[in-house]
Amino acid sequence: MVLGRPGRVVLGRPGQVVPGRPGRPWGGRAGLPAPGRVRYIGPLTAHGAAGPLGAPHAPARIRRARVGVAVLFAALGILNGVWAARIPAVKAGLGLSDGALGVALISAPVGLVLATLAAGRIVDRFGSSRPARVAGALVVVAPVGMGLAGNQAELMAALLAYGAVGGTLDVAMNAQAVRVERGYGRPLMNSFHGLFSFGVLGGALLGGLSA
């Protein structure tokens, strides 16, 4: 694709230059090509026109990836919301004091931070899709340990595992979201994080109803 005068878009081959008036150099005002001159800036891809014009119609593979990423964001939000609503019941069931509960709850962010440090390397090596799928499956199972914990130590171990899996999923699904956003050629990240927020709200309601 080549660009000429502002608002003019011309499709062309790599290296193609449409001649203009003799003696006019490249680059007009603000770095734009001089009138009558156009320059090749990139091919027309399967996602649509190259550059900021974006993709008018994303391929089916990208649409499926978008749905998968949306499900991961919503699922993680729901799980966090359910757990937040169930904390008082877990505290009462284990007979923990406020201080003991606070110590136990630290385990989740510790696991998240430790996993985040390694998750970046995992995504760099294996890509974002596979780690997101694996972590997405594990994060659904991890909260079971929190519900089955019989004492503070078991609760801390379960929270550490949940934080680690959740941190890995957080990195992988955000990296996958960036790829989906690039495939669509328009901003989508806010919608994914919005789904996470609605998931937290819905999870808290579910947790409160099941209390």
Quick: pLDDT tens for 139-182: 999 999 998 999 999 999 999 999 999 999 999 999 999 999 99
The confidence band for 123, taking pLDDT boundaries of 50, 70 and 90, is: very high
Average pLDDT, the chain: 79
Tens digits of residue pLDDT in 17-44:
444 444 444 444 444 444 444 333 333 3
**Residue 192: is its pLDDT beyond 60?**
yes
> In the structure, what pLDDT confidence band is assigned to residue 53 with cuts at 50, 70 and 90?
very low
Residues whose CB is less than 8 angstroms from the CB of residue 63 and which lie 6 or more positions away in sequence, other chains included = none
| Phi, psi of 3, rounded to the nearest 5 degrees | -115, 135
The pLDDT of residue 40 is 36
| DSSP 8-state symbol, 9 | E
Taking the whole predicted model, whether its pTM rises above 0.75 is answered as no
What pLDDT does 58 receive? 66
Alpha-carbon distance of 158 to 166, in angstroms, equals 12
Q: What would the mean pLDDT of 112-131 be, rounded to a whole number?
A: 92
pLDDT higher than threshold 50 for residue 52: no
Q: How far apart are CA 38 and CA 1, in angstroms?
A: 10
Residue 24, pLDDT score: 43
Longest dimension (CA), the chain: 87
Nearest to 174 by CA among 193, 156, 158, 202: 193
Per-residue pLDDT tens over the stretch 56-76: 466 888 899 999 999 999 999
Q: Give rounded-to-5 percent helix, strand, coil for the chain.
A: 70, 5, 25
**Residue of 113, 120, 166, 125 whose CA lies nearest to 142:** 166
Q: 110: buried, middle or exposed (CB in 10 Å: 19+, 13-18, 0-12)?
A: middle
Q: With 70 as the cut, is the pLDDT of residue 15 above it? A: no
